[in-house]
Amino acid sequence: MTFGFGLDAGLRALQAARYGMQTAGNNVANANTAGYTRQRVELAAAYPFGVGGTMQIGAGVDIRSITRLVDEGIERRIQLQMGMVGAAQVDLSRMREIEGILGDPEGGLSASLTDLFGALDQLRTDPGDRALRGGLVQAGGALSQEFRMMASRLSDLSGTTFDEVRGLVRQVNDRAAVIASLNQQITAAEATGASANDLRDTRAQQVKELGKLIDVRALERANGSLDLLVGGHQLVAGDRTTALAVGKDAADSTKLLVGKADASASLKGGRIGALLAQEKAGVPGLQSRIDQLARNTILEWNRAHTTGMPASGPLRSLTSAYGAQDNDGDGNRGDELLSQAGLPFDISKGELYVNVTDIATGAIERTRIAIDPATMSLDDLATALNDIPNLTATVDPTGRLRLNAADRYGFDFSPRLDTAPDTRGTFGGMQPVLGSSQPGPYDLSDQTFPLSLVVNNGSAAGTTSTTVMIAATAFQDVENATADELATAINRQLDPNGTALVVGGRLVLQGSQNGSVATLSLASGTGPGDLLAALGLPTTTAIGRDAALEVTIGGAYTGAANQQFTFVPEGNGTIGMTQDLRMRVLDKEGNLVTTIDVGAGYEPGESIAVADGITVAFGAGQISGSQGQVFAVDALADSDTTDVLVALGLNSFFLGTSAADIAVNPELVANADRVAAGISAAAGDAGNLARLATLRDVDLDGLDGTSIEDFWSDLVGEVGFDVAAAGTALASQEALMAQLNAERESISGVNIDEEMVDMMRFQQSYEAAARFLAVAQEMTDTLINLGR
Amino acid sequence: MSVRITQGMMFSRALADVQRGLARSSVLQQQIATGRRVLRPSDDPAATLQMAPLRSDIADLRRMSENVSLARETLNTGASALEDASTLFQRVRELTTQASNGTLSQGDRASIAAEVDQLLGQLVGIANSKRGGRYLFGGTDDDQPPFESVTVGGRTSVRYRGNRETLSINVAPGVQTELNVAGDRVFLARNRGSMLITPMPGTTATGVLGTTGGSTAVGRQRLEVTWGGLTNDRPATVSAGNGATTALGQLSYAFDPVAGTLSIGGGAAVGIPVTNGTFTTADDRTISLTVTGVPATLTGTFTSAARLSTDGGVSFTTVTDFSLSAVAVRSATDNSTTYFDARGITRTGVEEIEHVGTFDAFTTLTTLRDLLRNDEGLADGEVQARVSRMLDAVDGAHEAVLNGLREIGFRSSSMDALKNRVEDLQASRQESLSRLEDTDITSAILEMQQQDMSYQAALQISARVIQNSLMGFLR
């Protein structure tokens, strides 16, 4: 037994108890410290002494270390989960903001749409009412404003991403710096082999907070320092940091840089990752669908409106809202093909009908213009329009199309019926006419060229015979000579002793004199082949009328496709008197649509239904089928199948192409009379409003096969579902977080009862060790006293 | 799952539980306060989707119910106009009866004519009725008076300038009603029959016959048949004289070269040559001819042309071919056409034409007025006979007005039924919307109370549990 042996063991026991007390006290003190990890003093029996060669005796307690009770796996999961929670929080708050922008279910765009169609319906009750027309313009303005407001708030929301991310990046950089300095302290402290418990706690807490902001991966090195990676790039390496920076990419969306490397793409969680994802997909997706809605509303609304009739009647002058762009850079905008002129809407191949109205008489001159955007330039279109009598069309230096009607004339693009279709008098006119019994083209291959046709134009003063010679070069294909080619060739030589006209595809010759003294007869010239027979022209003599036979068309065309009805008498006789006097009605292809009885029993002036909503009324007089009397009526379902009016912005209701720039045409705002309520010029005609009203229920291809209102309510519903889903996602992420926190608490958390028990235990062991020391001292005293 | 519980855990759990309760309470409180269950789409996205069409339905129905009222008012205005017209025709009937029964002097008839003229003006006013600046009886051409009274050459005609298009408005889902009426159906209703042709009293019939159909003239007309000269088929030595001629059509001639005479139509022989000689046919028609001698052919026929005019000679149609069964005669005064059968025409004269079944409201009044004015100076009995014949026309025109009234009245009364239907629909849609959108206050309050209770319980229990720790027992 060595002197003082017991003292040493007692001292270490005292120390151990004191460390234990202090650790318990520290635990209790930090019970509420965020991220604090419960610590415990690790004790072990000290190395024993050998006694008497065969025995060993314990040398007391050894204080091994003070360790943190931590499960690194849970710590890692908590760090990741904080990123998920942060992202879910951002998602929910963004979605809530979007939901707020879309407006509450009662107001907002859906109310504006309902109001617009409501104003339309109200105007239908009195299309002539100026105040109601103003109401429609106002409702259109309110809808436009709603669209624009939404677009601007959404783009504002998108714009805040950059600032928000920059703020968060500053926090990331601050925390990264703190972690780097903690790394330095921990490596220094642990170089001696000790464990820097509280520093590690602080660092772990910083990493977790960082995880809330951004998706980081942590790697601990052997020396105790922790490296952090963002998107595979080092943010913290030992005591050094690489600062994060924000910038904008080519598409003007926010990007995140670690040093010089772009880490935007690989970010998954965290607030920053969620913000970037929202900016890239969430908001733009919504914006594009709202733009889709606005664009298709503009397109479809304008399709009907551009071909309507303003309340003020046919237009006097009009300038297109959009101009062609000089895409080939030759300084001339007019020569751009319509398909490449940079117009806001696509033009397709088809036909455009233009009506020029004589304001005084109401007579309509309707012209069909075939449009192929791949071969037709804006200048070509202007030329075609300019060729229409009493209409001038020019392309101004800004590439806009300018249309002007001659004095006392007006123009429009409406599909209205020409109520007086026989303006040239080929059916009931006062001049004698002889018309072909069938529509062209005619086979002239059996004829000798030049063709020779004798036209005898008679009047009270005598008869003038004109021999018209037509060379084969007048035709593209003599087997298929068109009525137009024939008419052009004949008119060149016949004028002024008669006129060749084309009605319903048929060649019709008309004498130049009026009245029953006027006559017209035809004869084939010399040579083989009977030209009159080849052309289906009658050999009889036609006599003029003293009074025109009036033909009036009424009703509204309900057919789906553009049509032309040709009317030819079946026999000869007096309207309303001759038994079984009939009119044949043929369609565009020459098929018989119907025959109508205008003979005995028909009261002149009475309307008879023809087909597809069209009616016809004949005045008193005689008609002749054998002379080839004929008239034709255009029945149009769509007077612009090309959308060229929409694309150029002629007679538009809305201007603009997206939610950001939709607006009511300022010309309509200034003058509500420009609202095209009718198809015809009648003040009470609400035909175009009826067309617009059908838009409400029509499923549009451009809106993925839904109607305008449905598209919007689906969108709002979807956002509602998304918000609800984001709420659920956040709740479940938070629940998972709480679960992980509970697990962490159960390992690393401080239980005060436990610490109390520890304190009591260490107190008792301290008392026991002190007692042991006292006994050891007594024993030493006893030994010393033995020697006295 | 661990079994180790720490105070920190208990605190945070208690906090989370209490907060959850509080959040639910706040939602309930908002639902009760606003009365609405769905304040944002995310509150119930599925309900939001159902609510949008309901809302737009309700807005539509509200407007339709306004439209129904508008339609009813408009139709009632039209109906009251037609009732006025009906009353007017009752008065016309009284006047007609009065004028056809009693022995009235021309002065009495003139005063009745003045009243009829006034009624005619009133009827034009009724037919041009407006509501809110729009003419009711003009189709969709409703910004100008649809009926225009024009008097040309003493003959009044009322023209229709409107169209036959209709203005339909929505009055119930899938139901449209026409607001306006094409006025020509009411005021210009005709059912053309045959033509009655009677010679003017005291004159001989011209032999002209009527035709069926094809004509556009209405009411009464006067046809003047006059001599139109000779045609080219006359013998070479014969030309028209400038004396009175009544013989028209094909005339036979017989020269007697021996006696030096010419006989026309089997009548008395007249010595030739003669200038402006009057020849009389066997049936007592006369023709004035200048004959210079005897032609190569001694017997044959030639044609004496006729001129037919229905506008007092302003315009006429010359008939040279008396085999035509339909000769069109136009009137410059009212732009009408009348077809006559020329085959029977033998002499000049004046015929009164009545187009049976063409007495529309206006034609009836103008005809009646003109008859009563008696500008032609007919005998009293004749005037009375003609006026009494107008009674049928008056009744016919009245009936057309009543038909229009019935049609409008039917439309107007169906509006009452529609109004109820639209309002019912509106209420049922509103109810559906309310079921989706509104807070069920009873259950919300009950839930609120439950929530309250569990909130308080959570607070109490938390407080109790958190207080407990070993510390409390160590002292």
Cβ <8 Å between B140 and A556: no
Q: Across-strand partners of A572?
A: A624
Show residues of chain B in contact with A710, CB under 8 Å.
Answer: 52-53
Rounded Cα–Cα distance for residues B215 and B339 (Å): 6
Cα B466 from chain centroid (whole Å): 91
Show residues of chain B in contact with A577, CB under 8 Å.
Answer: 211-214, 326, 339
Q: What is the helix (H) or strand (E) element at residue B268, kind and residue range?
A: none
User: Mutating which of A125, A685, A715 best tests the B interface, going by the most B Cβ atoms within 10 A?
Assistant: A125
Interface of B with A in 386-425 (CB under 8 A): none
Tokens of A115: 């109001």
Decide if A490 contacts A468 (C-beta within 8 A).
Answer: yes
Query: What is the largest distance, in Å, between two alpha-carbon atoms of chain A?
Result: 182
Q: Is the peptide bond before A310 cis (omega within 30 degrees of 0)?
A: no
Residues of chain A with CATH 2.60.40: 433-543
Nearby residues of A30 by Cβ (< 8 Å), 6 or more positions away: A36, A750
Task: Count the neighbouring beta carbons within 10 Å of the beta carbon of residue A45.
Answer: 10
Nearest chain B residue to A95 by CA: give it.
B42
| Amino acid in position A358 | D
The alpha-carbon gap from A620 to the nearest alpha carbon of chain B, in Å, equals 6
Q: Is the peptide bond before A441 cis (omega within 30 degrees of 0)?
A: yes
Same domain, B313 and B409: no
Which one, of B71, B73, B74, lies nearest residue B136 by Cα?
A: B74
Show residues of chain B in contact with A555, CB under 8 Å.
Answer: 165
Decide if A113 contacts A119 (C-beta within 8 A).
Answer: no
End-to-end Cα spacing for chain B: 34
Average pLDDT of chain B?
88
User: Is B380 part of a structural domain of the chain?
Assistant: no
| Amino acid in position A543 | I
CATH class in words for A433-543: mainly beta
Nearest chain A residue to B210 by CA: give it.
A577
Same domain, B404 and B327: no
pLDDT of res. A596? 94
User: Is B430 part of a structural domain of the chain?
Assistant: no
Same domain, B119 and B207: no
The alpha-carbon gap from B180 to the nearest alpha carbon of chain A, in Å, equals 10
Q: Is the peptide bond before B235 cis (omega within 30 degrees of 0)?
A: no
Reported as a single tens digit per residue, the pLDDT across B329-342 is 999 888 889 999 99
Same domain, B168 and B64: yes
Rounded Cα–Cα distance for residues A342 and B318 (Å): 68
Degrees (nearest 5) of the Cα angle A24, A30, A32?
130
Name the CA dihedral angle for B12, B13, B17, B22, rounded to a multiple of 10 degrees.
Answer: 0
Does residue B466 carry a pLDDT above 80?
A: no
Q: How many domains does chain B have?
A: 2
User: Is B417 part of a structural domain of the chain?
Assistant: yes
Q: What is the helix (H) or strand (E) element at residue B144, kind and residue range?
A: none
User: Which of B6, B41, B215 is nearest residue A99 as measured by Cβ atoms?
Assistant: B41
Which one, of A568, A617, A62, lies nearest residue B163 by Cα?
A: A617
Phi, psi of B321 (to 5 degrees): -105, 105
Same domain, B169 and B201: no
Q: Across-strand partners of A43?
A: A63
pLDDT of res. A70? 85
Interface of B with A in 29-58 (CB under 8 A): 38-46, 48-49, 51-53, 55-56
pLDDT of res. A489? 92
Same domain, B354 and B211: yes
Same domain, B219 and B182: no
Show residues of chain B in contact with A753, CB under 8 Å.
Answer: 469-470
User: Is B25 part of a structural domain of the chain?
Assistant: no
Taken as a whole, chain A contains a residue count of: 788
Same domain, B280 and B403: no
Cα B418 from chain centroid (whole Å): 25
Buried b (16+ CB within 10 A) or exposed e, B329-364: bbbbbbbbbbbbbbbebbbbbebbbbbebbbbbbbb
Same domain, B151 and B177: yes
Q: What is the helix (H) or strand (E) element at residue A523, kind and residue range?
A: strand A519-524
Decide if A654 contacts A663 (C-beta within 8 A).
Answer: yes
Tokens of B96: 């007609």
End-to-end Cα spacing for chain A: 20
Q: Give me the average pLDDT of each 10-residue run along chain A (788 residues).
A: 67 89 88 84 83 78 85 86 89 88 77 90 87 93 93 86 88 91 88 81 88 86 86 84 84 80 77 85 86 94 93 91 87 88 92 93 90 93 94 92 94 91 91 92 87 89 90 90 92 91 93 91 77 89 91 90 94 91 93 93 90 92 92 92 93 93 93 90 87 90 90 88 90 89 86 86 90 86 82
Tokens of A86: 């942060």
Q: Is B233 exposed, middle or buried (0-12, 13-18, 19+ CB in 10 A)?
A: exposed
Tokens of B203: 């004159």
Instruction: Tell me what the mean pLDDT of segment B92-107 comes to.
Output: 86
Same domain, B202 and B350: yes
Name the CA dihedral angle for A338, A343, A346, A349, rounded to a multiple of 10 degrees.
Answer: -20
Nearby residues of B450 by Cβ (< 8 Å), 6 or more positions away: none
Return the beta strands (E) in A185-274 as ranges.
Answer: 216-220, 226-230, 233-237, 240-241, 244-248, 254-258, 261-262
Query: What is the largest distance, in Å, between two alpha-carbon atoms of chain B?
Result: 178
Decide if B449 contacts B33 (C-beta within 8 A).
Answer: no
pLDDT of res. B112? 92
User: Which of B39, B169, B470 is nearest residue A124 as measured by Cβ atoms?
Assistant: B169
Q: Answer whether B61 touches A (CB < 8 Å).
A: no
Buried b (16+ CB within 10 A) or exposed e, B250-286: ebebebeeeeebbbbbebeebebebeebebbbeeebb
Q: Answer whether B20 touches A (CB < 8 Å).
A: no
Same domain, B58 and B149: yes
pLDDT of res. A257? 83
Q: In a 3-state reduction of DSSP, which class is residue B300?
A: strand
Handedness of CA A61, A62, A63, A69 (dihedral sign): negative
Q: Answer whether B1 touches A (CB < 8 Å).
A: yes
Instruction: Tell me what the mean pLDDT of segment B129-138 comes to.
Output: 87
Rounded Cα–Cα distance for residues B220 and A319 (Å): 56
Same domain, B205 and B168: no
pLDDT of res. A527? 63
Reported as a single tens digit per residue, the pLDDT across B275-332 is 998 999 999 999 999 999 899 889 999 999 999 999 888 999 999 999 998 899 999 8
Q: What is the CA radius of gyration of chain B?
A: 45
Reported as a single tens digit per residue, the pLDDT across B327-385 is 999 998 888 899 999 999 999 999 999 999 899 999 999 999 999 988 888 888 888 88
Reported as a single tens digit per residue, the pLDDT across B152-190 is 877 888 888 888 888 888 888 888 888 877 888 889 888
Tokens of B428: 């049922």
Tokens of A621: 């007089």
Ordered alpha helix ranges (H), A500-593: 531-535
Nearest chain A residue to B58 by CA: give it.
A114
Q: What is the residue range of B340's domain?
A: 195-358
ipTM of the complex: 0.82
Decide if A136 contacts A120 (C-beta within 8 A).
Answer: yes
User: Is B452 part of a structural domain of the chain?
Assistant: no
| Amino acid in position A404 | N
Rounded Cα–Cα distance for residues A527 and A556 (Å): 49
